[in-house]
Amino acid sequence: MTRRFLMTALLLLFVTASSAVSPTAVAADARVFMGEMWNRAVETLSKKLPQTERLARFRELFEADFDGPGIARFVLGRYWRSASQQEQQEFLKLFDDYVVFVYGTRLANFNGESFKVRGSRTEESGVIVSTDVINPGEAPIKIDWRLVTVNGAFKINDIIIEGISMMVTQRSEFASVIQRHGGQVSGLLELMREKTKTASAAR
């Protein structure tokens, strides 16, 4: 048996084994990913820190666990195709800063609420992990997390809070801004530059 034949056989065995993983196993792995991500979020965001440091830590979480480029293209919607290549590249950069500033600021009062996985299911577009976020004395907040696989690793592609998709909501907000600027993406980019100055400083 030649070395090349052996390597080919091993490769085929690996591919076959990988493709044979059951949907149940994929969903179980997704639940583990979400639990670990939540623990990192609690460790990072529950500490009282200066805003610049808090945003820097939130950026690390976002870049590690979220499908930033995929989300960015989705929320720009049909305007992605009409944008110039330069506008597309600037939007991808500004979108990261925008998410860090807007959501990092909103999580300033995060107090390490507990997290419970209710279940998970596989879909054509990825895996949905259904969870409850629990704050004592309040009704649990039902959150579904859509996970996709990017370069062999799970990434969060959407957050659905009480049935409302954050991606769809953001796309609607951005479309309204672009429409107010005559359908030009440049108007949205200008608004995002102004909003994200603080987040840019937290790089």
Q: Cβ(140)–Cβ(133) under 8 Å?
A: yes
pLDDT of 8 over the 50 cut: no
Amino acid symbol at 161: I
| Stated pTM of the model | 0.78
Give the residue, 12 or 78, on which the prediction is more confident.
78
Per residue in 21-32, pLDDT (tens digit) is 344 546 668 889
Residue 186: pLDDT band (50, 70, 90) is very high
CB count within 10 Å of CB 146 equals 21
CA gap 129, 113 in Å, rounded:
18
pLDDT (average), residues 128-142 = 89
Q: In this model, does residue 113 exceed pLDDT 80?
A: no
From the list 145, 166, 190, the residue with the least C-alpha distance to 71 is: 166
Residue 6: phi and psi, rounded to 5, are -60, -45
Structure-block tokens of residue 7: 């390597």
* 51 or 179, greater pLDDT: 179
| pLDDT at residue 160 is higher than 70 | yes
Kind of pairing, strands 126-134 and 153-161?
unpaired
User: Do residues 187 and 40 lie in contact, with contact meaning Cβ atoms separated by under 8 Å?
Assistant: no
Q: Report d(CA 12, CA 8) in Å as an integer.
A: 6
- Phi, psi (rounded to 5 degrees) for 133: -105, 120
pLDDT number for residue 12:
33
The residue ranking higher by pLDDT, 103 or 129, is 129
Task: Name the band, by pLDDT with cuts 50, 70 and 90, for residue 20.
Answer: very low
**pLDDT greater at residue 58 or residue 189:** 189
Asked if the model's pLDDT at residue 6 lies above 80, the reply is: no
For residue 119, pLDDT beyond 50 = yes
User: In sequence order, what E strands does 55-199 have?
Assistant: 114-123, 126-134, 141-150, 153-161, 164-165
The two three-digit tokens of residue 167, written as one number:
């991606």
* 52-61, 162-171, 184-193: the lowest-pLDDT one: 52-61
Does the pLDDT value for residue 108 go beyond 70? no
Lowest mean pLDDT among 26-30, 139-143, 167-171, 186-190: 26-30
